[in-house]
A and B are shown apart, each in its own frame.
Chain A
Amino acid sequence: MQHIIIIGNGISGVTAARHIRKLANHRITIISGETDFFFSRTALMYIYLGHMKFEHTKPYEDDFWAKNRIELKRAWVEKIDFAQKKLHLNNESQAFSYDKLILALGSTPNKFGWKGQGLKGVQGLYSYQDLENLEALSPHIKKAVIVGGGLIGVELAEMLHSRGIEVTFLVRENSFWNQVLPPEESAMINRHILQNHIELRLSSELDEIIGDENGQVKSIKTKSGEIIDCQFVGLTVGVSPNIASLRDSFQQGSLETHRGILVNEFLETNMPDVYAIGDCAEHQNPPTGRRAVEQIWYTGRIMGETVAQTICNRPTAYSPGVFFNSAKFFDIEYQTYGQVPAQLPADESTFYWEHASGEKCIRINYNTQIQSVTGINTFGIRMRHEVWDKWLSAGKSIDYVLENLPQANFDPEFFKQHEAEIIAKFNQETGASLRLKSKKGIFSKLFQS
């Protein structure tokens, strides 16, 4: 029986632990310095908003771990001795030995060396500690500046706004999240953010953060020279693999890193018996169409499921299926399946439909030559993951997909359906004469697999 130690109790580490336990009898220990128990990081915003309390964000009851013989250790790992296969913790004198080690260290918010970025009242939003700090500061914040237009930035804007705080949102790009979203979708989110009383400043960059005599932030200066008074600065300019704190151990042990910990297709590092998964891992040969560093809840979970197989003697390559992701921008839900890059690829065509309200839209990209769909963005309309996964895997044609679009509809009963309008627009744009062939609902057991 081996001792498998997992550093990090986020979705990646915990999924690995659960799946290893399902497959084998190894001793499993999860070490975390952040919290005693696994919690859903995606839910941090809801704690601040008052939708939930911290305990509601724990996906498993506290006795789940003992019941499944997964030991939990609350500690920071200070040093990893790869040669001896030992860990040194901050709160224990004796070292922990491992047979196999999984590094699931997560991310850390980026800081790009701005003057004043170390002042009080300046922070990112990633960890539970970040949330606690923000909560403690909140009663004293009247105006806040958020730097960086992405998923965490827009969530932080919603959070601060809920406390009656005036928010100025500095976005470097000329449209929100337009490195990921095509222009129309990005424009929709711009409008929606403004409608929610957030002062969205596009093409606006942070120059420096200015503090008062107590080391507390009091204002910021933009690159155009404007001074904005504030008592809080949220730095949401992306995250990076959380490897800095163990850099010495990695160097001494010659564990190869780049932006993250380098892993092969089996999620193995260059060190035998050491694996890395989730946000902290960097794929040397990412699967086609995938990034080297994937900082998404879903891919972290998939890596956890996969590495467990390899560790339990069933070597399995990381092969995530059709890409998918989701988010929510204030009141607009977003789902994406397949690949819908910000810039349309040369060999693809795109079909875009937007609802009259300007708060719902879909975009389907498809290969111009063979007409097979390559990806979909959907805003404000829920879609079935299973259906799009099947359609994209099978390379169904744009015609087929549009004619059967109701099959993919996952909106609740009585919600207005837009497929007729959507297909009419496509027909009008392309001269096609497609007709709806399916109904909304589950009609076949075949889809359930």
Chain B
Amino acid sequence: MIQKFGLTLFLAAFGLFVATLGMNEFRLTSEILVKNIKAEQVQEVQKQLAPMMDKVYSNGFAFASDLTSGINQLNKGYDAVQAWDKKFYEDNILALTKASASGYLTDNKEIMFFLTFVLGILGGLIFALSGLQTSAGIKNNGVFFNPAMARKWLGIGIGTFLILFYIALYFYPQFIANWVMLTDPVSQFINGGEASRWFMYGFLYTISVLVMGLRFIVNYRHSKYQVFRTLSVIFFQTCIAFILPEILSNLNLPSADLKNMWPLDYSFFFNYRLDKLIAGGGFGIFLLVWGIFLFLIGTPIMVYFFGKRWYCSWVCGCGGLAETLGDPWRQLSDKSTKAWKIERYLIHGVLVFAIIMTIGVLYTYFTGSYNLLGFIPTEWLKSSYGFFIGSIFSGVVGTGFYPLMGNRVWCRFGCPLAAYLGIIQKYKSRFRITTNGGQCISCGNCSTYCEMGIDVRAYAQKGQDIVRASCVGCGVCSAVCPRGVLNLENAETGTRIMIAPEVLLGNGMGK
């Protein structure tokens, strides 16, 4: 009952949230242009957008469409005369759209924020906490009958929504200007300014991890490992990734997500970022040194002692969202050998791409030459990595595909940091998942619920420890095992059973 109430409340708030896209009127005026673009460009922009000027649009979609095509025309013109710094990008278009908005939503952001976000969070929390009504223990009842969780109509719907959201967020934020506007009250409160699209995204991201993290804790409350791990992930997202950067920028210090590192943070070595850190005084230098230390020294040491789980399922932001928001879909990962083959080529390919791209970017930074090895344009490396890997793979596919292919598509097939961590974990780490002698009954729960698509059962049923580059140590396989066959452990590297015994323990054959 309570569960249904929570869900209904959430769905009502979410419905209203979606409906806000139809709110507001939009009217582009010359004052808005003057306030938002460079003085010398106002005239030519006004000329290009003449049909739109002063026209009242009751439909934000139509406004954004017209504005987008107008700006695209302008940009084409700039391209033709190579006037790169005159071009307009997504944030400019979004700013113009937001500025052109007026209406109930614009005048009542706090109320609308309450009705959408606050009530939505409340509904989500009630839904999450309703799990306390069932007894503690694994409760995957009905997962494969569920229309949202088993890749049926609702799952496909949610996936479609997420994919469209990411495409809008990355490439067409003007179409979700009202959503950005809804978070203005929070942004004003935290940093005194209006919300950018990334603030809205960060806020949505953080509350998703919080609410769905709570749901996960409730569902796995019988396992301290799961509770601590999820609390860790909630902490790192809320405090380190969301709040701390805001505090830093409020203090006029260079702002950073301290846990984000290269190569996941693929633009760490880009010129504008290096410049900003170097110009950022002592703290800026600290961030530069910290960032390099983290991936060069800190990470190998941590992976040696604990496996890559210290990062991937306890700290990482992508991982945090996957383990919380993505939890309903972990069973959708592809367990086939074919998927494993693709995974190994793809993820290591992305790592190689990231390394080459970074070498290119640094080469340009230090030598001023725009071509690596004389013929590879580093700008092209940068922008194609950013587009294909950073935006499409990591964003659109990474999260958008949760309800379709599971919660770790990016982590498993694309993340270059995961590839790096995985190599260390496979060859030199104390981490393994121990299998308990002959106790495996081959039921398949472990493989089914492994979010990384590892065929855990194949190892368990032959008594071999699981030492896999992709294992993020979420511990769910151990949790769902009905016979206590699996356990995540750290011990001397040499104690890992890498080759299956001839015959399983329990058979006294030949003794």
Residues of A within 8 A of B (CB): 11, 40, 42-43, 46, 49-53, 56-59, 61, 162, 195-196, 297-298, 301-302, 305-306, 309, 316, 319-322, 324, 326-328, 330-331, 333, 335, 382-386, 389, 410-416, 441-445, 448
Partner of A57, one of B138, B224, B444: B444
- The residue on B at minimum CB distance from A323 is B506
What mask results when residues 311 to 351 of chain B are scored 1 for a CB within 8 Å of chain A, else 0? 00000000000000000000000001100000000000000
> Does any Cβ of A come within 8 Å of B46's Cβ?
no
Do B145 and A442 touch across chains, with their CB atoms under 8 A apart?
no
- Asked if B141 is at the interface of the complex by the 8 Å CB criterion, the answer is yes
Contact, CB under 8 Å: B443 / A57: yes
Contact A384–B437 (Cβ < 8 Å):
yes
Given A333-B483, A441-B491, A442-B491, also A309-B509 (CB < 8 A): yes
- Is the beta-carbon distance between A51 and B144 smaller than 8 angstroms? yes
Tell me how far the C-beta of B132 lies from the nearest C-beta in chain A, rounded to whole angstroms: 15
Provide 22 A-B residue pairs closer than 8 Å at the C-beta atoms, listed in order of the A residue. Answer: A46-B443, A49-B142, A50-B140, A50-B143, A51-B140, A51-B480, A59-B458, A297-B441, A301-B438, A302-B504, A316-B510, A319-B511, A322-B506, A324-B437, A331-B136, A333-B482, A382-B484, A385-B437, A410-B436, A414-B224, A442-B489, A442-B495
**A445 and B506 within 8 A (CB):** no
Chain B residues near A297 (CB-CB < 8 A): 441
B507 pairs with A320, CB closer than 8 A:
yes
CB neighbours of A412 from chain B (8 A): 223-225, 475, 478-479, 487-488
With A43-B443, A412-B225: A51-B504 Cβ-Cβ less than 8 Å:
no
User: Given A316-B509, A410-B484, A448-B497, are A43 and B444 neighbors across the interface (CB < 8 Å)?
Assistant: yes
| Contact status B484-A335, CB under 8 Å | yes
Closest beta carbon of chain A to B74's beta carbon, Å: 53
**Which residues of chain B from 110 to 150 have a CB within 8 Å of any chain A CB?**
135-138, 140-146
Closest chain B residue, CB of each to CB of A387: B437
A414 CA / B231 CA spacing, docked (Å): 13
Q: Is there contact, CB below 8 Å, between A52 and B135?
A: no
Q: Is A328 a contact partner of B483 (Cβ separation < 8 A)?
A: yes
- Chain A residues whose C-beta falls within 8 Å of the C-beta of B510 in the assembled complex: 316
For B337, the closest partner residue in chain A by CB is A61
Contact of B143 among A51, A57, A324, A328 (CB under 8 A): A51
Residues A49 and B140 in contact, CB atoms below 8 Å apart: yes
Given A61-B336, A195-B135, are A298 and B438 also a contact pair (CB < 8 Å)? yes
Pick from B141, B442, B508: contact of A50, CB under 8 Å: B141
CB distance from B225 to the nearest CB of A (A): 4
The CA of A330 and the CA of B141, in the complex, are separated in Å by: 12
Residue of B nearest to A386 (CB): B437
Asked if B507 and A306 sit within 8 Å, CB to CB, the answer is: yes
Query: Could you tell me if B484 and A333 are in contact, using CB atoms closer than 8 angstroms?
Result: yes
Q: B494–A416 contact, CB under 8 A? A: no
Q: Tell me which of A52, A302, A382, A443 contacts B487 (CB under 8 A).
A: A382
Residue in B closest to A383 when the chains form the complex, CB atoms: B484
Q: A40-B442, A61-B336, A326-B441 are in contact. List 9 more A-B contacts (CB 8 A).
A: A305-B503, A320-B506, A324-B506, A330-B135, A382-B436, A385-B505, A415-B224, A441-B489, A443-B492
Is there a chain A Cβ closer than 8 Å to B8's Cβ? no
A50 and B443 contact, CB distance less than 8 A: no
Q: Are B439 and A335 in contact (CB under 8 A)?
A: yes
Question: Distance in Å from the Cβ of B500 to the closest Cβ of chain A?
Answer: 11
- Tally of A-B residue pairs with Cβ under 8 A? 170
Known contacts: A43-B443, A412-B475, A445-B495. The answer to whether A321 contacts B144 by CB under 8 A is: no
Give every chain A residue within 8 A of B444 (Cβ-Cβ): 40, 43, 46, 52, 56-59
Asked if B461 is at the interface (CB within 8 A of a chain A CB), the reply is yes
Min CB distance, B243 to chain A, in Å? 26
In the complex, whether B228 has a CB less than 8 A from a CB of chain A is yes
Interface centre among A51, A309, A327, A382 (most CB of B within 10 A): A51
Q: Does any Cβ of A come within 8 Å of B187's Cβ? A: no
Q: Are B505 and A386 in contact (CB under 8 A)?
A: yes
User: How far apart are B455's CB and chain A's nearest CB, in angstroms?
Assistant: 8
Given the interface contacts A305-B503, A305-B504, does A11 sit within 8 Å of B442 by beta carbon?
A: yes
User: In the complex, what's the smallest C-beta–C-beta distance from B315 to chain A, in angstroms?
Assistant: 16
State the CA gap A445–B144 with chains docked (Å). Answer: 41
B447 at the interface (CB under 8 A from A): yes
Contacts of B412 in A (CB 8 A): none
Q: Is the interface of B mostly helix, strand, loop or mixed?
A: loop
Contact A445 B494 (CB under 8 A): yes
- The answer to whether A324 touches B439 (Cβ under 8 A) is yes
Task: Give A43 to B494 CA distance when docked, in angstroms.
Answer: 34
Q: Are B495 and A50 in contact (CB under 8 A)?
A: no
In the complex the two chains form, what is the Cα distance from A267 to B164 in whole Å?
63
Against A, the Cβ 8 Å flags (1 = close, 0 = not) of B455-477 are 00110010000000000000100
| Distance (whole angstroms) from the CB of A438 to the closest CB of chain B | 14
Chain B residues near A413: list those with CB within 8 A. 224-225, 488-489
Q: Is the CB of B494 within 8 A of A326?
A: no
Do the beta carbons of B224 and A51 come within 8 Å of each other?
no
Asked if residues B492 and A51 are in contact (CB atoms below 8 Å), the reply is no
Distance in angstroms from A338 CB to nearest chain B CB is: 12
Q: Is B448 an interface residue (CB 8 A)?
A: yes
- A305-B137 in contact (CB<8A): no
> What distance in Å separates the Cβ of B198 from its nearest Cβ neighbour in chain A?
35
In the bound complex, residues from chain A placing their C-beta under 8 Å from that of B434 are 410, 442
Shortest CB–CB separation between residue B364 and chain A, in angstroms?
Answer: 46
Checking B436, B443, B480 against A40 with a beta-carbon cut-off of 8 angstroms, the contacting residue is B443
Partner of A448, one of B228, B495, B511: B495
Nearest residue, chain B, Cβ from A449: B501
B442 to chain A: which residues have CB within 8 Å? 11, 40, 42-43, 59
Chain A residue at minimal CB-CB distance from B494: A445
- Chain A residues with CB below 8 A from B441, complex form: 40, 42-43, 297, 326
**Contacts of A56 on B, CB cut-off 8 Å?**
444, 447-448
In the docked arrangement, what's the CA distance between A162 and B139, Å?
10
Which B residues, 418 to 446, have Cβ-Cβ distances below 8 Å to chain A?
Answer: 434, 436-439, 441-445
Q: How far is the CA of A49 from the CA of B138 in the complex (A)?
A: 12
A38 to chain B, nearest CB (A): 9
Complex CA–CA separation, A401 to B145 (angstroms): 46
**A327 to B: closest C-beta gap in Å:** 8
B455 and chain A: residue at smallest CB distance: A61
Task: Give the residues in chain A near B438, CB-CB below 8 Å.
Answer: 298, 301, 324, 385
A100 to B60, CA, bound (A): 77
Q: Which residues of B contact A302 (CB under 8 A)?
A: 504, 506-507, 509
| 8 Å CB contact of B461 from A59, A195, A321, A383 | A59
Q: Tell me how far the C-beta of A345 lies from the nearest C-beta in chain B, rounded to whole angstroms.
A: 22
The reply to whether B504 and A301 contact each other, CB–CB distance below 8 Å, is yes
Which residues on the B side are within 8 Å of A40 (C-beta)? 441-444
Taking the closest CB of chain A, its distance from the CB of B394, in whole angstroms, is 29
Q: Contacts A50-B142, A414-B228 given; indicate if A298 touches B506 (C-beta within 8 A).
A: yes
Contacts of A320 in B (CB 8 A): 506-508
| Bound complex: CA A297 to CA B480 (Å) | 19
Render B195-233 as a binary contact track against A, CB cut-off 8 A, 1 for contact. Answer: 000000000000000000000000000111100100000
Which residues in B have their C-beta under 8 angstroms from that of A416?
A: 224
Of A59, A301, A445, the contact of B492 (CB 8 Å cutoff): A445
Docked pose: A316 CA to B337 CA in angstroms: 35
